Amino acid sequence: MEQFNVDNWAAQLRRGLLELCVLNMVAQGEVYGYDLVRRITNLRGLGIAEGSIYPLLSRMRNAGLLRARLEESPAGPARKYYALTPSGMKCWEMMNAHWDELAQGIGSLRNGQGESDGN
Protein backbone atom coordinates (compact mmCIF):
# COMPACT_ATOMS: atom_id res chain seq x y z
CA MET A 1 0.00 0.00 0.00
CA GLU A 2 1.28 3.48 -0.90
CA GLN A 3 2.08 5.80 2.00
CA PHE A 4 0.30 9.16 2.06
CA ASN A 5 2.70 12.04 1.39
CA VAL A 6 1.81 14.98 3.64
CA ASP A 7 4.54 17.15 2.08
CA ASN A 8 2.99 16.68 -1.38
CA TRP A 9 -0.48 17.49 -0.01
CA ALA A 10 0.87 20.65 1.68
CA ALA A 11 2.63 21.77 -1.52
CA GLN A 12 -0.58 21.36 -3.55
CA LEU A 13 -2.55 23.27 -0.93
CA ARG A 14 -0.04 26.15 -0.96
CA ARG A 15 -0.10 26.36 -4.76
CA GLY A 16 -3.89 26.40 -4.71
CA LEU A 17 -3.97 29.24 -2.21
CA LEU A 18 -1.43 31.44 -3.94
CA GLU A 19 -3.98 33.13 -6.23
CA LEU A 20 -6.17 33.96 -3.24
CA CYS A 21 -3.17 35.41 -1.38
CA VAL A 22 -2.27 37.60 -4.36
CA LEU A 23 -5.85 38.83 -4.77
CA ASN A 24 -6.13 39.58 -1.06
CA MET A 25 -2.95 41.63 -1.10
CA VAL A 26 -3.83 43.57 -4.24
CA ALA A 27 -7.38 44.17 -2.96
CA GLN A 28 -5.86 46.33 -0.20
CA GLY A 29 -4.63 48.76 -2.83
CA GLU A 30 -2.20 49.04 -5.69
CA VAL A 31 1.02 47.20 -4.86
CA TYR A 32 4.52 47.19 -6.30
CA GLY A 33 5.40 43.77 -7.71
CA TYR A 34 8.56 43.28 -5.67
CA ASP A 35 6.77 44.28 -2.44
CA LEU A 36 4.00 41.80 -3.22
CA VAL A 37 6.52 39.04 -3.85
CA ARG A 38 8.45 39.86 -0.68
CA ARG A 39 5.32 39.85 1.48
CA ILE A 40 3.98 36.58 0.03
CA THR A 41 7.29 34.73 0.27
CA ASN A 42 7.47 35.80 3.94
CA LEU A 43 3.97 34.53 4.81
CA ARG A 44 4.32 31.94 7.53
CA GLY A 45 3.33 28.47 6.38
CA LEU A 46 2.95 29.36 2.71
CA GLY A 47 6.51 28.50 1.66
CA ILE A 48 6.25 29.85 -1.89
CA ALA A 49 9.37 30.66 -3.92
CA GLU A 50 9.76 34.05 -5.59
CA GLY A 51 10.10 32.41 -9.00
CA SER A 52 6.55 31.06 -8.90
CA ILE A 53 4.88 34.42 -8.20
CA TYR A 54 5.90 36.50 -11.22
CA PRO A 55 4.50 33.97 -13.76
CA LEU A 56 1.28 33.87 -11.71
CA LEU A 57 1.02 37.68 -11.80
CA SER A 58 1.42 37.55 -15.58
CA ARG A 59 -1.27 34.84 -15.92
CA MET A 60 -3.65 36.79 -13.68
CA ARG A 61 -3.05 39.95 -15.74
CA ASN A 62 -3.65 38.03 -18.99
CA ALA A 63 -6.86 36.61 -17.48
CA GLY A 64 -8.08 40.16 -16.81
CA LEU A 65 -7.95 39.93 -13.01
CA LEU A 66 -5.09 42.39 -12.57
CA ARG A 67 -3.94 45.50 -14.34
CA ALA A 68 -0.32 46.56 -14.30
CA ARG A 69 1.34 49.90 -14.82
CA LEU A 70 4.98 50.90 -14.98
CA GLU A 71 6.30 53.83 -13.00
CA GLU A 72 9.76 55.25 -13.42
CA SER A 73 12.00 54.83 -10.40
CA PRO A 74 14.65 57.36 -9.39
CA ALA A 75 16.90 54.46 -8.36
CA GLY A 76 16.96 51.60 -10.84
CA PRO A 77 14.54 50.19 -13.38
CA ALA A 78 10.87 51.14 -13.70
CA ARG A 79 8.57 49.56 -11.14
CA LYS A 80 5.50 47.52 -12.03
CA TYR A 81 2.44 48.15 -9.89
CA TYR A 82 -0.58 45.83 -9.79
CA ALA A 83 -4.23 46.58 -9.05
CA LEU A 84 -7.48 44.65 -9.30
CA THR A 85 -9.70 45.07 -12.32
CA PRO A 86 -13.49 44.88 -11.91
CA SER A 87 -13.26 41.20 -12.90
CA GLY A 88 -10.48 40.74 -10.37
CA MET A 89 -12.63 42.31 -7.66
CA LYS A 90 -15.50 39.94 -8.47
CA CYS A 91 -13.13 36.95 -8.45
CA TRP A 92 -11.65 38.16 -5.14
CA GLU A 93 -15.12 38.33 -3.58
CA MET A 94 -16.12 34.89 -4.87
CA MET A 95 -12.86 33.21 -3.83
CA ASN A 96 -12.99 34.69 -0.33
CA ALA A 97 -16.63 33.66 0.09
CA HIS A 98 -15.70 30.12 -0.93
CA TRP A 99 -12.67 30.14 1.39
CA ASP A 100 -14.80 31.37 4.32
CA GLU A 101 -17.40 28.65 3.71
CA LEU A 102 -14.73 25.97 3.39
CA ALA A 103 -12.85 27.13 6.50
CA GLN A 104 -16.09 27.16 8.48
CA GLY A 105 -16.97 23.65 7.31
CA ILE A 106 -13.53 22.28 8.12
CA GLY A 107 -13.61 24.04 11.47
CA SER A 108 -16.90 22.39 12.34
CA LEU A 109 -15.45 18.97 11.40
CA ARG A 110 -12.41 19.59 13.58
CA ASN A 111 -14.69 20.49 16.48
CA GLY A 112 -16.83 17.38 16.01
CA GLN A 113 -19.81 19.40 14.84
CA GLY A 114 -19.90 18.37 11.17
CA GLU A 115 -23.33 17.75 9.72
CA SER A 116 -24.22 14.24 8.66
CA ASP A 117 -26.37 13.56 5.63
CA GLY A 118 -27.21 10.05 6.83
CA ASN A 119 -24.88 8.24 4.39
Confidence bin at 29 (pLDDT 50/70/90): very high
The boundaries of the domain holding residue 55 are 7-101
Phi-psi region of 68 (alpha: psi -120 to 50; beta: other; left: phi over 0): beta
Please check whether residue 19 lies inside any domain of the structure. yes
Confidence bin at 1 (pLDDT 50/70/90): low
What is the distance between the alpha carbons of residues 39 and 35, in angstroms, rounded to a whole number?
Answer: 6
Q: What is the pLDDT of residues 54-101, one digit of tens each?
A: 999 999 999 999 999 999 988 888 999 999 999 999 999 999 999 999
pLDDT at 119 over 70: no
Please check whether residue 118 lies inside any domain of the structure. no
Please check whether residue 65 lies inside any domain of the structure. yes
What is the distance between the alpha carbons of residues 5 and 20, in angstroms, rounded to a whole number?
Answer: 24
What is the distance between the alpha carbons of residues 106 and 60, in angstroms, rounded to a whole number?
Answer: 28
Paired sense of beta strands 31-32 and 79-84, if any: antiparallel
Provide the mean pLDDT of the chain: 90
What is the distance between the alpha carbons of residues 3 and 33, in angstroms, rounded to a whole number?
Answer: 39
pTM of the model: 0.83
- For residue 97, what is the domain's CATH number? 1.10.10.10
pLDDT at 114 over 80: no
Please check whether residue 111 lies inside any domain of the structure. no
Please check whether residue 68 lies inside any domain of the structure. yes
Q: How many domains does the chain have?
A: 1
Please check whether residue 87 lies inside any domain of the structure. yes
